[in-house]
Structure formats: structure tokens, C-alpha cells
Amino acid sequence: MAKYKFKNTPLFPNLDDWPISKMGKNRDQFVKELEEMVFTHIKSKKGDKLGKLLAQTIYKERTRVKEDSWKVDKNDEASFWKEKQRQFAEELDEEDQDAIDLNDQILKEIIHRYSEEIIGYFHNKTFRFARKFLTVVFNRLLNTAANRNMQRLYRTNVNIHDRMQAFGEIELLRELFPKGNIVIVPTHFSNLDSVLIGYVLDSIIGLPAFAYGAGLNLYNSGFVAPFMNRLGAYRVDRRKKNVVYLETLKALSSLLNQKGVNNIFFPGGTRSRSGAIEEQLKLGLLGSVIDAQRELLKQGSDRKIIVVPLVLSYHFVLEGKHLIYQHLKKTGKEEFLLPSKKDQSKKRKSIAKFFWEFFSEPSEIIVSIGRPMDALGNFLDKDAVSLDRQGNPVNIRDYFVNNGEVTKDKQRESVYTKQLAKRIIRRFKKENIVLSSHLTAFAVYNILARKHPTLNQFALLRLPTEDINFPIEMVADVVAEIQIKLFDMEKNKDIILSEQVKKQPLEIIYDGVVKVGRFHLKKPLAVNKSGDLFSRDFALLYYYHNRLTGYDLDDTVDWKGVFNRNSDIFDYEPIT
């Protein structure tokens, strides 16, 4: 597993050669092609029910404008949808052919509005500025914070690449880049993910810029919005749940792939609320990968859609508390009780504060590049040849052929999409890099759960944090037992361990406690004067613990033995 701390030579130094740059220069044509693609698809799929589809779309959009408006919305949102409602109502009194024509016209106008809203721009000058700006700011902030000395602002001693690290199949990805169309599918934990992934891909790995989806809510910031809009971001509005909007998004992903524009999309659809690695993916977005590969084959092209899983690892997540509360409220309903208002932080920390905390202490953000696959989930060699599980070459065209021709088969491709989703989820688990914070939080939360075997998850989270300490010797005991399983898993290539996690248990624990959730007002873990661990927020402890769920690690611990060996220092309910 190669680690890249310094910038790789750019594959294409001239930005004009970048696929996304070429698309930016021909944006109007791209928008036109997208509109035609969406219109044709919806007409073929919903032609006889178009009136009903339009009625649902207009109703949902007018409701959204009234009940959930945002500052970033267009000024004519209300008037546009009111006018579509008027036109649609008039259509009911028209003759059949006139009604069909008017429905088609309304549909085209809605698709055009969505397409113009979604598709951003890419300006070479803006990208060059952003690249230099982020590097300078990150490096200066890093050295200022690390030294706690404003006089060090313009003296660079620590490199940003010591904190933002890339591991994995980087050389293979660079070799494959010119031979296919790359689709990066990352895990998703924070709103900062897109910026950090883009920076690592450019600054460390040396790849051209990717198109990527950004939530429309992020455009509410007057400072950030102009930059995002000119850096290849396409805007995603999760308030819009109607079929026309979702089909436009899906068609955009497919068209980007067909046009050779490399892109990033989060297959989970949104940030992980629980803190766990995604185990369910949005099949609609993944289906666009299958669509694009079929269309390329149909056009006689031998280019492949190359799917690359990417796993982000943080010691602390900016929105962690907000996300875990959302998860617990959804899963626990009446069982989950929010803390009193005076116990909650009234203000979210700013992004600037997040980066200050990140740079001021020895912490890192790690990007793990997974094994590249084709659209069907087969691994690829350096020549972009698809390989089956036995390592034999596979011709993926055969998977799309019927009676000698490449054809669309909805049922067949639905199976391919589900297969691809399973492969990505499996790779997320295997490419996950375990940090000291993950392992420490996992061990401590499981001690808490085993100490109270009769309590369910929500009862555990309601326990008074000030009454419970975790003896350091006991935590080290649990970490040591989990390490045995982790070493076996790494040997079998079922997970990746950071160098810190390979050290002695006490070293892991102290490193993990220092780094986990530093940003939060109430610490998920800390050390008291006696040297034992405690938590001031069990919900946050649970959030960071969740990063290692799904591996059955807790079942490998001899819990009865652990508690019996530590019975003189830790009271517990007897384990039978």
C-alpha cells in the first residue's frame, strides 16, 4: 500500500486538455443534449401518463416554494410554477392533440429550468486560483496553528501532505485514467468531503479535475457559491423529489460518462448519519453507470466506465453531533430523547474553527483509493482489461448483447446495478483504514454496552456520563483482543490498519483519545486525573464507534474474561 505525501506529476499539465474544461467551453451544447435526453426518456416511459406526471411535479414544486424556500432559490420560483399551473389548467379544456403539444411544451420548459440550475461551469482561471489559494491557506494555517504563533504565519515548516494523506491503488488509477472514464464513488461523512477529495486528487495524485455533485444548500453562502459554480460542481437540490428532477440528475450522470467527463458522486446519496460506512446505496445513480457503459458499447466505443471506490477517514467530523442526533431521532423515535437545550451547543462551529483544530494538533485526513472496477464490478488490470474472480479476461460487451446486438434490457441491467452496489459496499469495507480514534471509541462503547447488558441502545445513551469512568487497563485489555482479529483481517486483505493501530494498546488509546472528536464542545472521550477514560457525550462516542461496525469485532472479545480480570476496578452486571 503506497502512501503519497508529495505532489505527483500532473497527468495533463495543460488544463485545456481536461475533459471537464472542454465540457465547460461547450456548456450550452451539453445542456441541449441533456434536455433532449431527458425529454426522450420521459416521453418513452411516461408518455400516456404525462399529464398526471406534470400535475404531480407542479403540485410538489409549488408546495416546496411555500413551505421550504431557500435564499439560493431563483427570484421567480413562485411565479414560474404558478404560470405552469395556469398553463396546465388551461390544457384540460383543449382538444387532445393540443393538450399533448402543450404538455410536451410544459415538460420541456421544466427540464430546461432544471438543467440550467443543475449544470455548473468550469473556468480554468478560477481553478488555478483555487488550487494556489487552498495550498497557501492550508500550509500557512497548518504552521500557524501547529506552532500556536501568529508570527509563524509566513514560515512553512510542516507540509500539508503530512496531514492529508493518500493510500491505495494510486499508480493503477493514474495508468487507467487515459484508458476510460473514471467515476469516483466515495464514502460520505461531511459537507467538506467534496473539497477535500478534489484537493487530494489534484494536489497529491495529479489527476485532472472531476465534475462533482454539491448540495444546493451549500450555495447559500455568498462567498463559496461563485467558486463552486465555476469549478465543475453540479447542484443537487434534495428538496426536489419529483420524477422529472430525478430523471434529469440521473441523465446528467450518464451523459457525463458518455462524454468522457470524469466525475465524483456519493453512491450513498447523502452523509452517513450514523457514522458507519454505507451499507445501502442509491441504485438510481449507480444505474446511470450501467446506462453509460451500454450506450458507449452501442456507439462502437471500447472505452470503459471505470468505477473507483474511495474511503475517507477522519478522526473527527465537523457535523458529527448533528448527524448522530438525526440518526437516533429517526431510528429511536420516542425512545430517543434530545438533551435539554442548555446542554446543547447553541452554535455550530465554523469551518474556519474546524480547520484550526485540524491543523493545530497532530491529526490527519486519510483518503484510501480502492481497486478500480468496470461497470459490472470486475477488477481491471493496468490495460483496463476486465478480469473475473479467477483472473481471466472478460469481454463486458457480452453482458449487453441480445441476438448479436447491444440492447437495453431494464430487468437485466437492474441486476447489474445491484451487483455493482454489492461490490462497492464490499470494497468500502476492505479499503477502510482503521484509525486510533475508531478503535478506541469502539472499545470504550462496547465496554459500556457490556457493562449494562439489559439496556438497549437508547437507554445506554441516557445514562449519566458523569457517573461512569473506564479504567485504562481494561480498555487496553479490550483493544489488545480486538487487535488480534484486526491483524488477521489485514493479512487477509479485509481491512487496512493505520500505522498507529499497529502499536501497543496504551499508545493507541492515548493517541485515539487526543484525536477523536476534538472539535466537539463535549468530548466523546477524555482522560481524568486518575488516568482513566470518561465520556461527556455517549451519543458522540456511539457515532465514532460506528465506524468499525459490520466486522463482528465485538464478538471476538472474551468479555467474561475481560470483566473478571478487571472486577476489582470496574463494577458491572454479571455476564452469564
**Residue pLDDT, tens place only, 203-242:** 889 999 999 888 887 776 555 666 777 888 888 898 999 9
Angstrom distance (rounded) from CA 183 to CA 188: 15
Query: Interior CA angle at 413 toward 495 and 194, to 5°?
Result: 50
- Average pLDDT rounded to a whole number, residues 286-295: 93
Angstrom distance (rounded) from CA 60 to CA 55: 9
- Do residues 461 and 542 make contact, with C-beta atoms less than 8 angstroms apart? yes
Instruction: For 264, list phi and psi in degrees, rounded to 5.
Output: -120, 130
Place of cell 478522526: 315
User: To the nearest 10°, the Cα dihedral for 393, 396, 402, 407?
Assistant: -170
Which pLDDT tens digit goes with each residue over 423-458? 999 999 999 999 999 999 999 999 999 999 999 999
Q: Identify the weakest region by mean pLDDT among 188-197, 286-295, 378-387.
A: 188-197
Angstrom distance (rounded) from CA 167 to CA 366: 8
**Sign of the alpha-carbon torsion through 59, 65, 70, 76:** positive
Secondary structure (3-state) at 536: coil
For 382, other C-beta atoms within 10 Å of its C-beta total: 12
Q: Identify the weakest region by mean pLDDT among 120-129, 274-283, 350-359, 467-476.
A: 350-359
**398: burial class by Cβ within 10 Å (0-12, 13-18, 19+)?**
exposed
| Three-class DSSP labels, 198-221 | HHHHHHHCCCCCCEEEEEHHHHHC
Instruction: Report the share of the chain in percent with pLDDT over 70.
Output: 85
The pLDDT-based confidence of 339 (bands split at 50, 70, 90) is low
Q: Identify the weakest region by mean pLDDT among 22-26, 247-251, 359-363.
A: 359-363
Secondary structure (3-state) at 276: coil
* pTM score of the predicted model: 0.87
The pLDDT-based confidence of 1 (bands split at 50, 70, 90) is very low
User: To the nearest 10°, the Cα dihedral for 349, 350, 351, 357?
Assistant: -50
Q: What is the mean pLDDT of the chain?
A: 86
For the chain, give the number of residues. Answer: 576
For residue 413, what are the contacts with CB-CB under 8 A and spacing of at least 6?
287, 290, 291, 294
- Do residues 16 and 213 make contact, with C-beta atoms less than 8 angstroms apart? no
Angstrom distance (rounded) from CA 492 to CA 120: 43
For 238, other C-beta atoms within 10 Å of its C-beta total: 10
Secondary structure (3-state) at 380: strand
Give strand pairing partners of 236: 215
For residue 35, what are the contacts with CB-CB under 8 A and spacing of at least 6?
108, 111, 112, 115
Of the segments 221-225, 319-323, 335-339, 436-440, which one has the largest average pLDDT value?
436-440
For residue 552, what are the contacts with CB-CB under 8 A and spacing of at least 6?
none
Instruction: Enumerate the H helices of 149-201 as residue ranges.
Output: 170-176, 193-199
pLDDT for the residue numbered 538: 96
For residue 80, what are the contacts with CB-CB under 8 A and spacing of at least 6?
74, 113
The pLDDT-based confidence of 43 (bands split at 50, 70, 90) is very high
Q: Is residue 545 scored above 80 in pLDDT? A: yes
Q: What is the CA radius of gyration of the chain?
A: 26
- Do residues 161 and 251 make contact, with C-beta atoms less than 8 angstroms apart? no
Domain ranges of the chain: 1-120+163-315+365-431, 434-565
The pLDDT-based confidence of 153 (bands split at 50, 70, 90) is very low
**173: burial class by Cβ within 10 Å (0-12, 13-18, 19+)?**
buried
Give strand pairing partners of 373: 307, 379
Start-to-end CA distance of the chain, whole Å, equals: 43
pLDDT for the residue numbered 360: 57
Angstrom distance (rounded) from CA 123 to CA 24: 7
- Do residues 42 and 247 make contact, with C-beta atoms less than 8 angstroms apart? yes
Instruction: For 280, list phi and psi in degrees, rounded to 5.
Output: -135, 130
Instruction: For 497, list phi and psi in degrees, rounded to 5.
Output: -105, 135
Secondary structure tally for the chain: helices H, strands E: 20, 18
The pLDDT-based confidence of 48 (bands split at 50, 70, 90) is confident
- Do residues 413 and 535 make contact, with C-beta atoms less than 8 angstroms apart? no
The pLDDT-based confidence of 325 (bands split at 50, 70, 90) is very high
pLDDT for the residue numbered 220: 65
- Do residues 397 and 340 make contact, with C-beta atoms less than 8 angstroms apart? no
For residue 228, what are the contacts with CB-CB under 8 A and spacing of at least 6?
120, 214, 218, 219
pLDDT for the residue numbered 564: 87
